[in-house]
């Protein structure tokens, strides 16, 4: 039994601030009132309990109200990524089986060619209201959201995320991070992504305020961290680096109230963690995925300095094992088990069981140390095998990230007639540096077979909406040359 999130929260703490956006703030009571009005307008448009809709919108206040309205109306929400191409969105609309696509007026162009029923935000606002009885108690297996994987291999999969999945993830997180009455979470992650949506879930479950930014802005984020208006923030390596650069300009660290920089989306370079330590910015690495409704493991604050580079131990309800290994520090595929794991997929992958004997194979390579702390090495699909030796791109990227004139680095494998495959590095520079200098830099820090055989200087690395590096795009760049 799970209480309807927003109804329960508005009952418990109606006057507490739910979220702020730009210069406006809303309490939980105001959020519920506005969301209920929109939910009744959705009912007028024949969207009833159990209907599956697709949602395409920006990460702003109106989107927050629409999301909560859809949940109150009992809809299953397919969260569409506004940074995808029209073709990619078209695939997800067709695969999802949604009956209607709800779209922000300014994003109508993305779905102009779809034959699916369309409902704009302005059309919803202009609709009449139809009364209905809201479900105050949910079953744990009720599907709340459906999010498509980033599609790093093959076709993206539509992942079901249930009420139980989201609640388990949020409760596990708070048992690890703790909760304070004055906590404010800066959300600059897209709301259509699990990292952003999970912050909305935590807000209504914890009674916690969100400071919502429509887009990531390093200057604005750094200022919020410095002035104490936020206590926590979610980042990936790229956005962490940008915030640190802003803080380093003034040689200023975080405000004493700031507690957590939660870093996900892949391993964080050790150099970034050392820089954050100098600035007294507490960075906690976390590990999770769409199929686990966000976090599975997170480093605790007490272990942050002692276990640099680790994603921590499994959160309270979760389990992690390394497949086909018998000793600590032995690398293998990471497997996950727990109530936060998806019950399955939709569309073309509906018949695919996500579990292998009760465990979710992640496709990630990692290891557990002697104390059971998880370290993620790389994606299994990104592994480079050169002359029989395993090379993990993230290890090389970590080394390059420590170079003072490298802003970003991405590594992939290139076919080689003798070795099978060799590493190639794509770098975004912030100063003058040559390929020869980078080769020497790597040779001092890496085994010779791990040193990139080629350096490509580019203006920007290919990333998805959550700023995760897309190494398959790097391979496409190589193939096109």
pLDDT tens-digit profile of 273-297?
889 989 989 999 999 999 999 999 9
Task: Give the sheet arrangement for strand 158-162, strand by strand.
Answer: 117-120, 100-103, 52-56, 76-79, 143-148, 158-162, 345-346
Q: Is the pLDDT of residue 440 over 80?
A: yes
Q: How far is CA 459 from the centre of its chain?
A: 24
Among residues 465, 468, 471, 467, the alpha carbon closest in space to that of 83 is found at 465
Q: How far apart are CA 359 and CA 362, in angstroms?
A: 9
Q: How far apart are CA 111 and CA 86, in angstroms?
A: 7
Q: How far is CA 479 from the centre of its chain?
A: 29
Every domain of the chain and the residues it spans: 2-138, 165-380, 383-479
Residue 152 binned pLDDT confidence (cut-offs 50, 70, 90): very low
Classify domain 383-479 at the CATH superfamily level.
ANL, C-terminal domain (3.30.300.30)
Q: Find all residues with CB under 8 Å of 355, minimum gap 6, and list them.
A: 341
Q: Is the pLDDT of residue 468 over 70?
A: yes
Report pLDDT for 153: 45
Cα 144 to Cα 58, 72, 339, distances in angstroms:
19, 10, 15
Cα 340 to Cα 148, 289, 432, distances in angstroms:
17, 10, 47
Q: Is the pLDDT of residue 171 over 90?
A: yes
Q: Which residues on adjacent β-strands are paired with residue 399?
A: none
Among residues 77, 89, 104, 110, the alpha carbon closest in space to that of 214 is found at 104
Report pLDDT for 150: 62
Q: Which fold has domain 2-138?
A: Rossmann fold (3.40.50)
Inter-residue contact 161 to 344 (CB < 8 Å): no
Residues in the chain: 481
The torsion angles phi and psi of 50, rounded to 5 degrees, stand at 90, -10
Q: How far apart are CA 287 and CA 295, in angstroms?
A: 6
CB neighbours of residue 258 within 10 Å: 23
Token duo for residue 263: 């870093």
Q: Strands 319-322 and 294-298: what pairing? A: unpaired
Q: Do domains 2-138 and 383-479 have the same CATH topology?
A: no
**Total-model pTM:** 0.86
Residue 417 binned pLDDT confidence (cut-offs 50, 70, 90): confident
Q: Is the pLDDT of residue 230 over 50?
A: yes
Among residues 140, 184, 192, the alpha carbon closest in space to that of 166 is found at 140
For the chain, the distance separating the N- and C-terminal CA atoms, rounded to the nearest angstrom, is: 56
Residue 154 binned pLDDT confidence (cut-offs 50, 70, 90): low
Burial class (CB in 10 A: 0-12, 13-18, 19+), 181: exposed
Q: Give the distance between the most distant pair of CA atoms in the chain.
A: 71
**What confidence tens digit (pLDDT) does each residue in 61-88 have?**
999 999 999 999 999 999 998 888 788 8
Cα 199 to Cα 15, 339, 344, 414, 456, distances in angstroms:
19, 18, 22, 39, 37
Q: Is the pLDDT of residue 236 over 50?
A: yes
Residue 449 binned pLDDT confidence (cut-offs 50, 70, 90): confident
How high does pLDDT run on average in the chain? 93
Q: Which fold has domain 165-380?
A: Rossmann fold (3.40.50)
């Amino acid at each position: 039994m799970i209480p309807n999130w927003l109804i329960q929260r508005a009952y418990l703490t109606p006057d507490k601030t739910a979220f702020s956006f730009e210069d406006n703030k809303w309490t939980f009571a105001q959020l519920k009132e506005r969301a209920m009005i929109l939910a009744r307008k959705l009912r007028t448009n024949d969207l009833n309990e159990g209907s599956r809709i697709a949602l395409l919108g920006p990460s702003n206040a109106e989107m927050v109200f629409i999301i909560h309205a859809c949940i109150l109306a009992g809809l299953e929400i397919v969260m569409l990524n506004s940074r995808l191409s029209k073709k990619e969105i078209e695939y997800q609309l067709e695969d999802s089986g949604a009956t209607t696509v709800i779209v922000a007026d300014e994003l109508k162009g993305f779905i102009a060619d779809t034959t699916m029923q369309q409902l704009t935000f302005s059309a919803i606002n202009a609709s009449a209201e139809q009364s209905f009885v809201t479900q105050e108690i949910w079953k744990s297996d009720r599907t709340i959201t459906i999010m498509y994987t980033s599609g790093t291999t093959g076709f993206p999969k539509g992942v079901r995320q249930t009420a139980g999945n989201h609640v388990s993830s949020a409760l596990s997180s708070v048992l690890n991070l703790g909760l304070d009455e004055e906590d404010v979470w800066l959300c600059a992650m897209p709301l259509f992504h699990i990292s952003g949506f999970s912050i909305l879930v935590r807000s209504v479950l914890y009674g916690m305020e969100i400071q919502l930014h429509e887009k990531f802005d390093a200057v604005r984020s750094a200022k919020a961290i410095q002035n104490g208006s936020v206590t926590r923030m979610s980042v990936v390596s790229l956005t962490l680096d940008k915030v640190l650069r802003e803080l380093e300009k003034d040689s200023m660290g975080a405000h004493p109230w700031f507690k957590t920089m939660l870093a996900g989306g892949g391993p964080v370079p050790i150099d970034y963690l050392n820089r954050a330590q100098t600035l007294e910015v507490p960075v906690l690495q976390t590990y999770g995925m769409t199929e686990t409704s966000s976090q599975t493991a997170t480093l605790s604050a007490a272990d942050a300095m002692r276990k640099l580079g680790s994603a921590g131990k499994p959160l309270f309800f979760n389990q992690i094992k390394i497949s086909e290994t018998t000793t600590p520090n032995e690398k293998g595929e990471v497997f996950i088990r727990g109530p936060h794991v998806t019950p399955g997929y939709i569309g073309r992958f509906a018949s695919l069981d996500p579990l292998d004997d009760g465990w979710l194979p992640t496709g990630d390579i990692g290891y557990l140390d002697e104390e059971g702390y998880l370290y993620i090495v790389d994606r299994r699909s990104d592994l480079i095998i050169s002359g029989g030796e395993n090379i993990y791109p993230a290890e090389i990227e970590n080394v390059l990230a420590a170079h003072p004139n490298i802003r970003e680095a991405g590594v992939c494998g290139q076919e080689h007639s003798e070795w099978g495959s060799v590493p190639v590095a794509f770098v975004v520079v912030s100063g003058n540096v040559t390929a020869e200098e980078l080769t020497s830099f790597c040779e001092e820090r890496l085994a010779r077979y791990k040193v990139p055989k080629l350096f490509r200087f580019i203006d920007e690395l290919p990333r998805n909406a959550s700023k995760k590096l897309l190494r398959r795009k790097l391979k496409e760049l190589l193939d096109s040359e």
